[in-house]
Amino acid sequence: MPDLIDFGTLQLKFLQSKETTGGSVDLFEMTLQPNARMPIPHYHESWDETIYGLSGVSTWRVDGKEIDIGPGESVFIKRGVVHGFTNRSNGPATCLCLLSPGALGPQYFKEMAALMAGGAPDPARMKETMLRYGLVPLAS
């Protein structure tokens, strides 16, 4: 059974993780509800990320450029490149996310979901968690 992680406006279904692939990849399906977004633009130094659209349209801001990803479209995000995402549409958008090599696993997302549960998260705790897992947050 895949690991399911719910952030409210964002749901993740882990298909493969660093634990199941010997550190090779993390692979998860991400569904963004309307108006869902990554609250903090960030980058990572240790892995690359590929996004492949499955349904709906999500907008990815990669290195200062906005890229709409619909079904069958993809974007490659090289390590060190600042990025974030949002769903500006009126319906859900689903994409497949591949991190190579696998670096996060489900645990990072579970910790972030716990921080976001119950209202406004503490920005200092979110930043500390991101940094501990190798994501470098930037001010928006």
User: What is the residue-level pLDDT of the chain in tens, covering all 140 positions?
Assistant: 477 899 888 999 999 999 999 999 999 999 999 988 876 899 999 999 999 999 999 999 999 999 999 999 999 999 999 999 999 999 999 999 999 999 999 999 999 989 888 777 788 998 999 999 999 998 75
What is the reported pLDDT for 140?
A: 52
Options 3.40.605.10, 2.60.120.10, 3.40.630.40, 3.40.190.10; CATH of 3-137 = 2.60.120.10
* Identity at 7, one-letter amino acid code: F
Across the beta sheet with 48-55, the strand order is: 3-6, 10-16, 26-32, 93-100, 48-55, 74-77
**What is the pTM (predicted TM-score) of this model?**
0.91
